[in-house]
Chain A
Amino acid sequence: MTVSGKKEARNPRGQDDRCAGAERSGTATLIVDGLTKRYAGRGREVVALEDVSLELEPGTFSVLQGPSGSGKTTLLLSAGGLLSPDEGRVFVEGHDLYTLSGGAMAEVRARCIGFVFQQFHLVPYLTVFDNVLLPEIAHKQRRLAGRAAELLATFRLDGRADHYPSELSTGERQRVALARALLGRPALLLADEPTGNLDDHNAGIILECLDDFVRAGGTVLMATHGAHRDGRDAVYMIEQGRIVTVNGK
């Protein structure tokens, strides 16, 4: 494993980069190559993605924009190893995701990928602290409590550690979900309309957090209906499963 000094400085996961794969090619965090996903609908086949390719470098913030039903969620799930495509390949930190066994795939998800959704999917019977710490059960090294406390402080949630999700505002809930996604120091953060349920103020906080993550060397791919495209590294416009335009910086 060779990690350049520059890369190391920007590595959001600190010095123990367990994510890197042996067969990594290039420096891209995420490579999506010729992805096609079809859903067998009732009588009519739905093509959710058609020959989609993109490449995200470390420390970049990319936006996926398109109308409802254009395939944004499908692309994020496929990129995160949760939805196996009909054609094409996905590399995360050099791991060819869909060639991996279930266990290896789970490990890559635990170490390399973080997810944030419009619905926060917090576990109702766990406190804020335990929700953030939840991914620990997927990690062999079970020493993430300190990291969880650190994240809660970063997201200004340290006063709410013992509260349950039902006792939080929506903005706070999304911050908990984001903290949870970042617990394992992922290289790639996949965010599906993370601000969709939030007011502008709270949306602003979340976006700031994502910016911080990117500044620390992380890679973000965020699906969104609306704005938030200013100052991003790339904006992929997607329509009917195809990427139609790319606006890079």
Chain B
Amino acid sequence: MAGTGTAHLRDRDRVLLRVEDLVVEFPASRGQKVHAVSNISLDVLKGETLGLVGESGCGKSTTGKAILQLPPPTSGTVTFEGTDITTLGGRDLRQVRTKLQMIFQDPISSLNPRRKVEQLVAEGLDIWGKGTKDERQKKVDDLLVTVGLDPTVARGRRAHQFSGGQCQRISIARAVATEPALIVCDEPVSALDVSVQAQILNLLEDMKEQYGLTLIFIAHDLAVVKNISDRVAVMYLGRLCEVGDPDVLYQAPAHPYTAALLSAIPVPDPAVRPDERTTLGGEIPSPLSPPSGCRFRTRCPRADEQCKQEVPEMHGIGADHFVACHHPLAPGETLVDLRTS
């Protein structure tokens, strides 16, 4: 997007989570600001998986953390089950947070190395004193079985004794333990081998089914995101570019950035010659001084004066397909030559 707007948001009563005009800025040296997330709006239906994709530094993690108020955003609202949680504090906020969980990219370092697996998984249960000790133990064992670990083997061990894939299973058991309504998965498979990645993606789908979970799934791998998501949002430099059903969005990307991203993916098929595909030139500009107007314009082959002057607004271009671009691609149209530099 590099744009703003709320055309892609759905009916307030139907959504579990609604994020409006989210802004996150970090102070930088010499009085500058990192514009990490700028006026992003999103929503998620109950039981839906929203995929959030974009390249490094575009603000995916910052968005995910701001939703969980870790830390609260600079401005904007985060409405969860009808309450704007940016206004909550203390006990109310802690109470809400048990319903919002997060799974991180690095499975090993995100688990406390001094605690045993059973303690890690039970943490949320213990904090809220749910059930008796025996009930909690039983629940932990059930969770371990569900994520494919043998409780008798796993229970008493510590995280470093497990592989990356196993640690990610423990993280999932732990996140699911408090029966949260929403889990933000921040690149949960990016550090894993493809074969383990497939195991974890399948597991997440199973858990979603079993526990009726709602997910925000962050990743930079478009194929992974498509596989798990019901709806995908593409980010660039702190803003949203395009939102839609993945089957539509990948088939007919409308935003030049989405098109470029899709064409840059290395495909495991030697018939697709990379040198015949289009490559995007240049690099992502600094979030300290993002370009005016459309933030993608410095790398966009379609950019013109309007793109420089006006921030494009999200607008509908088809059933569940929205784009923030002044000159979106028509269905079937391709970027003829993306080599701008």
User: Do the two shown chains form a genuine complex with each other?
Assistant: no
- Chain A residues with CB under 8 Å of chain B are none
